Structure formats: structure tokens, C-alpha cells
Amino acid sequence: MRGFRADLLHAFRVYRQTPGASLMAVAVLAASLAAVTAFLALWSDLALRPRPGFERAGELVTVVQTDGQRAVALSYDLIEAIDEESATLDALAGVFPTQQYVDRDGERTPVGTELVTKRYFQEVRPRIQLGRPFDEADHDPNGAPVAIISDAYWREHFGRREDVLGQIIRVYGPNMTLRSESGEARAGERMQDYRIVGVLAPEITGTFYVGTGIWMPYEQAAEFLLGAAGNYRRLAMLRGIGRRASGASDAAIRTELRGRYGEAQDLGLLAGMRFDAMGGIVTDFERQRELLRQVRLFLAGSVLLALVAACNVSLFLLARAPGRRRELAIRMAVGAPLKRLARQLATESTLLVAVAAVLGVAISLWLTTFVRELSFLQSPLWRNVTVFDWRVLGMIAALLLVLAVLVSLAPVVGLKRLGIAEGSRSVTARAGIAQRLAGTVQVAVAGVIGGAAIAFVWYLVEISTFDPNFSAPDVYVVMVGPPQGPLNNNEDALLQLREHRRETIAAIPGVENVAFGISVPGQYRPLLTMRIAAPEDPEDQLNLSMQPADYAFFNLLGFEFVAGRAYGAEDRTSIVVNEALARRLWNRTDVLGEVLPLANVPPGVNAPRWEIVGVIRDVAYGHPSDEPEPVAYQQVSFVAAFEWILVEMRRSAAELQRELQRKIDDGDLDFTINQIRRVEELWSEGISPDRARAALTVGAAVLVVALAAFGFYGTQRYLVAAGRREYAILGALGAGPRALGRLVLRRGLALGLPGLVLGTLLAFIAVAWLRDGYVSRGVSPTAVAALVAVGIALLVFAATLGPARHARNTEPAPLLREE
């Protein structure tokens, strides 16, 4: 212990001698550790830390049906079938998160509600703190209505009184307005009393959404609450949450379900959908998957950064070892064995890592919040991201161990070469295994991360210069709130309302044009889709988004017509389609006069006849990398009630908002303004995650490349310093300064060659992998790898120039006299 204390004390002294370099080594390690810790905390929150309050929550798994872009809920029949038959799932329950209204002192009060199927309390097993879970009888459709409440609801409405059990919650039925030719009738005024039978543990605030107050048996409540009219088994409304069988992975569950129920349309599997499974309770399946991909990518990058930093510090410690030759010689002379000296050097290295770890964890407290706010990582899915989670801290501890070993490696391995007897006799210095390994790792990692940065920047340039096929420099979109009261599906009334709004807004000074539409570039809302079939093959069907847009919409947004024109102000039977739809259905773009081929029109039904009068270029409503969807525009439909207003004017958004609000306050306009945005800004926001990702990667790459260059420089400098006698001999034999400089450059390039080859190869692989979802297929791995190769060669060359100059300036005379 005394020896360890002495080593520690000496380590402090050693680092104090070169405070600048020591602080830099600590800073480099701390920065990389902070990055690893931050991304580990995000990863743990998303995927590692089980949801508190559920028994053996690590076994829970969420099951959905998805088309790869959006996940959809399951039907009761599907859940029941899987629950009974699956070999990879011990059980599967369904949860329908909704909002219901309860009576509170005569007032309708909204409350978050989860309707759960019978296996929920049996198998998902949320912890009950008071009362009992639902039993078999509670799930009987004709059973007595019962409910379980959350701890928060108990506290708020019952003051945590024990007599809550048996109390009644009065729940409203669905609020619907039914219209017929004879008039309107309102339903949903009926109520049902639910008896409280249990209270959940405080840590359970909802299975899928925070803020759930009441749980009810789905089978009993579905018909009353949802008006499902006996159809509750077929409606795809339930999120599947199950318990995996022992040893079953997500992939195994996925494979089994796809194999067993791939064609289960009769049980409620939707067309074009397939099963997917993910560990844990997943609220937004696709978003969570995307977040996980991003977090894992940057976590891997951070770990690589930490490895480079460790190699760098290791080489830094080795490079300063020659300066300590005398100290080590004295220690050996007084009897210190090599092992003891190795321990001393390891203690010094570990001290550096330990200080960096403390600093890194402190920085990560801020960094965790910062990265979570980056546009590509913003999400409501984050629950409680914290560094102080045993999984995060455990993994960091393991990483620290690896880093400590790495940091100690070079100086300890180099110790034997630096022994006084060896050192005094040494003439030359060639890179040892540790130096070669560390140098190669550094350069290769710099190649990989540099390659990723090039790929991301390439992609960013590609999407930044992408032509979205619209032009609206002075166009604002006024996002109005949804209509209040019953939905108005009278098209004449909607058109009348639209024209009133147009006239009123056009009268505002500075307003040049006004138009209306459901979607604008940057905000695509497919509110109404219909099934259509290819004219040549009725079996070839697709979902088509029908977008209500007024006649001025196309001109205002600068949409380009490749054929035909926009429909007129009074024209309700003509439509405009995009090229994607024209090609998909007719395999050509000149489709004027064609009629939209609706699918599955029952015999005898008088289907609308929509004739195409114009074809526009495909407009990028979303991300530039998205494939354009088939779209058709029509003058009006019932969803036009949700349309937004487009205003062309050369004044600011704030001024427009003031003018509109004045009209609203005066009663001239009848909507609420959610927000007003410039259309082009709105669209460009779609690539802000790409910008943030590219910036983060480039930042990391700059850091890694700088570290690699610094480390490589340190190695070369060390080798030249340790081998200066060789340069002196060569100088004495006639090697001029240029020849000595060239020799060092050659040796530097030879040392960097394995890193160059490996880095180039790994960069190629990394970019090829990144093309699968992170960047576009237009990014060429070969070109990026070539750039990486050139970059690494330049890096190695630049990092060797200094040592080469040092070798050039070798003064042979004093060195050749050394004994």
C-alpha cells in the first residue's frame, strides 16, 4: 500500500512537470469518455433499462404490424391467436391507449385511459400496490365494469385513502354526432359506472404514454367506450405487449410470427404489413428503431474516439519516457526490478485515466442533455435519461479498464527498451509492437470516422442541392387549428368558407395571393387515401393520397406542370396528379383525359369520375431521400375542413400574424392560428437532422484526425529522438540533411502504411454500411475510400514533417562521442 501511495505521489509529480501536455492528455480522454457516457445513457434509456414497476420487465417485448415506415396496432383476434400458439412468446396481451371522459362533479373531465386485454395483468404483471388485478370475470364482455387506477389518480382524486377500493368512477360513452336527412342526433350522453378494484404502483404512469389514470378490461369496455358494435375483436387498435419465452430473441419472435401469421388477413393482419418485435415497452416502434440506430452509430463512433484517445495518450507517455531514462536508471541501479517499474508506469497511466473518468462523467451530465436536443435525436420517447444508471456506469467501468490497459501498454512495453543498459547502447530506434499497433489503430479509426464524415457531408451536399420542384420564396403557410364542433362535410359550405377567407385575407395590405391546401412542402398530411387499381391490371392496387387543394395552390407554390393545367375555380370533377402516379398507373406522364381508376367499387355504386387535367412534377413534401408518393389533387373534399392557408406576401410572419389576429378578433375570420411558417424554411427543416448529424460526425472526425496526427507525430518524434545516434552516424558518413529528412519520411510512411490500408478498407465498409439508411445510394464507397486514402497519406506525411526536420538538424559531433 505504501508503495502504491508512493507511486501515486510520484505520478502527480511527473505530470506536474509538464502540466500543459498532461492536461491535454486528460482533456482528450475526458472528452471521449463524456461522449461514450452520454450515448450509453441514451442507449440505456431506450433499450437497456427495463420499465420500472413491471415484474421481470427485461422479458417484455412489443409486437406490432408494420410496413417498415409506420407501425400499426393489432386486432384482438391476432393477439389472442399469438398468445395461444406462439412458441417464442409465453404470452401476448393487448393495450389500447385512449382518452376518455369521466364525470367529475357534473363536468366532463378527460383522463388518459388504457383498455387492456385479459393477459395484461396476468402476464405483463404491473405491480399493484392496493387491491387486486383484473381477473377472468372482469374481462367478460358482460361482466361488471371495473377499473384500476394509477397512483397519481388515487392521490389527486381520492387523497390516497384506503377506502378507494369499491368507489365508483362514472365514465362517459363515445361523443358522436350522427347526421341524417331528417336532422342531427347526438349520442354518447350515456354513462357507465366503473368500480375501482385496485391501485397500481407509483412508478407506473402508463404502459405506453405517461399520464394514464385509469385501466379497464378491453373486452368489457370496448363496446361501451368505442362504440365498436360487437366488432371489438377485429379492429386493429391494440398494441401488443408480450413476455418472451426463455432464450427467444427479437429476431426469433419476428421470424416465427411472420412465418406463422404472414397471411393472417382473416385475423386482422393488414395488406402490405408484416410482424415486427422489439424488446421492452415501445411507444413509437419506427421512431424508436431509428433513434436506436442513430444512438448506436454515435456510440460506436464515441468508443472509437475513446480508443484513439487512449492510444494517443499511451504514445504520449511513451514519447516522454526517454526523458525519464535517468530516473529509471537510478531506480534500477538501486535494485528496482522491471516489474516494479512497470507497476509504477501503470499507476501513472491509471491515474490519468481515473482523473479523465471523473471529468468525463461530469462533462457527460451536460453532454447527455445537449445531444438529446440535437435535431436528429429529439424525441418524446426519452423517459429518464441518466448517467447514474448501473448499466451505464458498469459499461463505463469496463471501458475504463480497457483504456487503462491501453494507456499503460506502450510505456510498460517500452520500458525494457528504455532500460539504462539498453538505452545507452542503443543506436537506432524502430517502432515497437505497441507503437505499431497503437499507430495503426489510430490511423485506421481516423480513416473510418473520416470516411463517415465525408459520406455524411457528401450526402448533406446532395440533399442541400436537391431540387424539390417547388418555388415559394415569399409564401407563408398559416396552420390553422382544427374546426371546432361537429365536422362539416358539406363541400359547398367548405368552398364558400374558403372563398370568404380568401377575400378577407387578400384584403390585408401586402398580400399578393392566397391559396388553400392540406399539405405543403415540409408538412405532408395524407388525411384521405383511397384504393386505386392499375387500368391494365385490376389486381395491381395501391393506396392513393387525395389532397384537397384549391385552383391557386399550384401556381402559388411554383409547381411545374409537365402536361395540362390546374383545374378551374368551379371545377370539382377534374384532378391533377403527379408524375409518380402517372407512371405507376399508365407508365407515362401524358395522361391528360384519363379517369382515375378506383378499385373495389361495389357493383351498382355510382363511383365519382375524376378526370386528369394536369400532371405536375413530383414535389418533395418530405425528406429529399424519400421516394415520391403517388398523389392526386382535387378541388375539395370533406377533409378540406382541415386545410391550411397559403399566403404570398413580402412582409414578415409576425406582421401577417398580427393582421390575421386582428381580423379574427373583429370576427371577420373564424379560425385559430397554430403557427405561421415560411414554406421554404419549413421544407428545409426536414434536412436539419442531416445537418446536425453531419456536423457532429465532422466534429468527431476533426477531433479523431487531429488526435491521430498528434499521436503519429509523437511516435515519429520519439523514434527520431531515440534514434538520433543513427542519424548522427549516417550524417558522419555523408548523409546530408535532405537525405536524413527523406529517410524519416520514408520510415513514417512505412509506419503509417498498415493504418492507411486498414483505414481505407474500413472506410469503404463503413460507407457501404451507412448507405443502408443513413446516407443515400449516391454516396460512393469507392470514392470516399479513395479520399480517405489520400487524406491518411497526407496526415501521415504532415505528421512526419516535424520529426523529419528534427532529423535534418541532427548534430552528429556530440552524439558520436557518446558512450
Partner 1 sequence: MTESTTPLIRLVNISRVYRTETLETHALSNINLEIYRGEYVTIEGPSGSGKSTLLTLLGLLDVPTSGEYELAGVPVAKIDAEERARLRNREIGFVFQAFNLIPEMTVAENVGVPLLYRAGVTAAEQKAAVAAALERVGMTARAEHRPSQLSGGQQQRVAVARAIVGKPSLILADEPTGNLDQENGDQIMDLLDELHRDGATLVTVTHNPRYAERAERRFWMLDGRLEERAARAA
Looking at residues 221 to 250 of the shown chain, list those that interact with partner 1 (rule: CB under 8 A). Answer: none
Looking at residues 786 to 815 of the shown chain, list those that interact with partner 1 (rule: CB under 8 A). Answer: 811-813
Choose the stretch contacting partner 1; rule: CB under 8 A; options: 461-469, 700-708, 724-732, 774-782.
724-732
Tell me the CA distances in angstroms from 1 to 4, 333, 341, one per residue in order: 5, 23, 15
Give the number of residues written for the chain. 819
Judged by beta carbon, residue 184 or residue 819, the one nearer partner 1 is 819
Distance CA 440, CA 56 (A): 44
Q: What's the closest the beta carbon of residue 19 comes to partner 1, in angstroms?
A: 24
Question: How many residues sit in the footprint of partner 1 (CB under 8 A)?
Answer: 24
Q: What's the closest the beta carbon of residue 735 comes to partner 1, in angstroms?
A: 5
Q: What's the closest the beta carbon of residue 426 comes to partner 1, in angstroms?
A: 8
Among 735, 770, 792, 796, binds partner 1 (CB under 8 A): 735
Distance CA 292, CA 305 (A): 19
Query: Quick one: DSSP state of residue 74?
Result: B
Under the binding rule (CB under 8 A), the answer on residue 97 touching partner 1 is no
Distance CA 137, CA 782 (A): 65
Residues 6+ apart with CB under 8 A from 588: 582
Under the binding rule (CB under 8 A), the answer on residue 427 touching partner 1 is yes
In the chain, DSSP finds a helix count (H) and a strand count (E) of 23, 23
The three cell numbers locating residue 632: 392526386
Distance CA 126, CA 208 (A): 13
E strand spans, 451-536? 475-480, 511-517, 529-534
Choose the stretch contacting partner 1; rule: CB under 8 A; options: 337-345, 348-356, 456-464, 729-737.
729-737
Give the Cα-Cα-Cα angle 767, 772, 775 (nearest 5 degrees). 65
Among 152, 730, 749, 786, binds partner 1 (CB under 8 A): 730
The per-residue b/e assignment along 116-147, b for 16 or more CB within 10 angstroms, e otherwise, is: bbbbbbbbbbbebebbebbeeebbeeebebbb
Under the binding rule (CB under 8 A), the answer on residue 354 touching partner 1 is no
Under the binding rule (CB under 8 A), the answer on residue 733 touching partner 1 is yes
Q: What's the closest the beta carbon of residue 402 comes to partner 1, in angstroms?
A: 33
Q: What's the closest the beta carbon of residue 785 comes to partner 1, in angstroms?
A: 34
Looking at residues 257 to 286 of the shown chain, list those that interact with partner 1 (rule: CB under 8 A). Answer: none
Q: Residue 217 belongs to what H/E stretch?
A: strand 212-217
Judged by beta carbon, residue 540 or residue 811, the one nearer partner 1 is 811
Instruction: Note whether 328 and 341 are within 8 A (CB).
Output: yes
3-state DSSP call for residue 6? helix
Under the binding rule (CB under 8 A), the answer on residue 421 touching partner 1 is no
Under the binding rule (CB under 8 A), the answer on residue 416 touching partner 1 is no
Under the binding rule (CB under 8 A), the answer on residue 333 touching partner 1 is no
Judged by beta carbon, residue 428 or residue 675, the one nearer partner 1 is 428
Distance CA 269, CA 265 (A): 4
Q: What's the closest the beta carbon of residue 322 comes to partner 1, in angstroms?
A: 18
Query: Quick one: DSSP state of residue 122?
Result: I
The three cell numbers locating residue 697: 460526425
Q: What's the closest the beta carbon of residue 723 comes to partner 1, in angstroms?
A: 10
Q: What's the closest the beta carbon of residue 50 comes to partner 1, in angstroms?
A: 59
Under the binding rule (CB under 8 A), the answer on residue 672 touching partner 1 is no
Judged by beta carbon, residue 445 or residue 807, the one nearer partner 1 is 807
Choose the stretch contacting partner 1; rule: CB under 8 A; options: 201-209, 367-375, 737-745, 796-804.
737-745
Q: What's the closest the beta carbon of residue 319 comes to partner 1, in angstroms?
A: 21
Judged by beta carbon, residue 85 or residue 422, the one nearer partner 1 is 422
Judged by beta carbon, residue 115 or residue 743, the one nearer partner 1 is 743
Among 136, 193, 503, 818, binds partner 1 (CB under 8 A): 818
Q: Residue 194 belongs to what H/E stretch?
A: strand 191-200
Distance CA 424, CA 440 (A): 29
Q: What's the closest the beta carbon of residue 415 comes to partner 1, in angstroms?
A: 20
3-state DSSP call for residue 809? coil
Under the binding rule (CB under 8 A), the answer on residue 418 touching partner 1 is no
Residues 6+ apart with CB under 8 A from 362: 34
Under the binding rule (CB under 8 A), the answer on residue 817 touching partner 1 is yes
Under the binding rule (CB under 8 A), the answer on residue 819 touching partner 1 is yes
Taking the CA atoms of residue 300, residue 304, residue 309 and residue 315 in that order, the dihedral angle to the nearest 10 degrees is 160
Of 26, 48, 34, 41, which is closest to residue 305 (Cα–Cα)? 34
Among 336, 739, 753, 765, binds partner 1 (CB under 8 A): 739
Judged by beta carbon, residue 430 or residue 662, the one nearer partner 1 is 430
| Residue 317: how many other CB atoms lie within 10 Å | 26
Q: What's the closest the beta carbon of residue 805 comes to partner 1, in angstroms?
A: 13
Under the binding rule (CB under 8 A), the answer on residue 140 touching partner 1 is no
Tell me the CA distances in angstroms from 239 to 120, 218, 757, one per residue in order: 11, 12, 49
Among 624, 731, 791, 803, binds partner 1 (CB under 8 A): 731
3-state DSSP call for residue 564? strand
Judged by beta carbon, residue 235 or residue 739, the one nearer partner 1 is 739
Looking at residues 169 to 188 of the shown chain, list those that interact with partner 1 (rule: CB under 8 A). Answer: none
Instruction: Note whether 75 and 143 are within 8 A (CB).
Output: no
Judged by beta carbon, residue 244 or residue 808, the one nearer partner 1 is 808
Looking at residues 283 to 302 of the shown chain, list those that interact with partner 1 (rule: CB under 8 A). Answer: none
**β-pairing verdict for 71-72 and 89-104:** unpaired
SS3 content of the chain, % helix, strand, coil (to 5): 50, 20, 30
Choose the stretch contacting partner 1; rule: CB under 8 A; options: 51-59, 158-166, 523-531, 727-735.
727-735
Distance CA 635, CA 643 (A): 12
Q: What's the closest the beta carbon of residue 803 comes to partner 1, in angstroms?
A: 18
Query: Counting Cβ atoms within 10 Å, is residue 339 exposed (0-12), middle (13-18) or buried (19+)?
Result: exposed
Under the binding rule (CB under 8 A), the answer on residue 419 touching partner 1 is no
Judged by beta carbon, residue 162 or residue 819, the one nearer partner 1 is 819
Among 725, 748, 774, 804, binds partner 1 (CB under 8 A): 725
Give the Cα-Cα-Cα angle 441, 437, 25 (nearest 5 degrees). 65
Under the binding rule (CB under 8 A), the answer on residue 430 touching partner 1 is yes
Judged by beta carbon, residue 211 or residue 736, the one nearer partner 1 is 736
Among 82, 726, 781, 785, binds partner 1 (CB under 8 A): 726
Under the binding rule (CB under 8 A), the answer on residue 500 touching partner 1 is no
Judged by beta carbon, residue 605 or residue 733, the one nearer partner 1 is 733
**β-pairing verdict for 107-116 and 511-517:** unpaired
Judged by beta carbon, residue 55 or residue 422, the one nearer partner 1 is 422
Q: What's the closest the beta carbon of residue 429 comes to partner 1, in angstroms?
A: 10
Under the binding rule (CB under 8 A), the answer on residue 738 touching partner 1 is yes
Largest distance between two CA atoms of the chain: 116
Among 558, 628, 737, 754, binds partner 1 (CB under 8 A): 737
Judged by beta carbon, residue 109 or residue 424, the one nearer partner 1 is 424
Distance CA 165, CA 163 (A): 5
Under the binding rule (CB under 8 A), the answer on residue 327 touching partner 1 is no
Q: What's the closest the beta carbon of residue 733 comes to partner 1, in angstroms?
A: 5
R_g of the chain, CA atoms, integer Å = 34
Give the Cα-Cα-Cα angle 741, 743, 744 (nearest 5 degrees). 70
Under the binding rule (CB under 8 A), the answer on residue 736 touching partner 1 is yes
Distance CA 620, CA 520 (A): 10
Instruction: Note whether 516 and 645 are within 8 A (CB).
Output: yes
Q: Rule CB under 8 A: which residues touch partner 1?
A: 427-428, 430, 725-726, 728-739, 811-813, 816-819
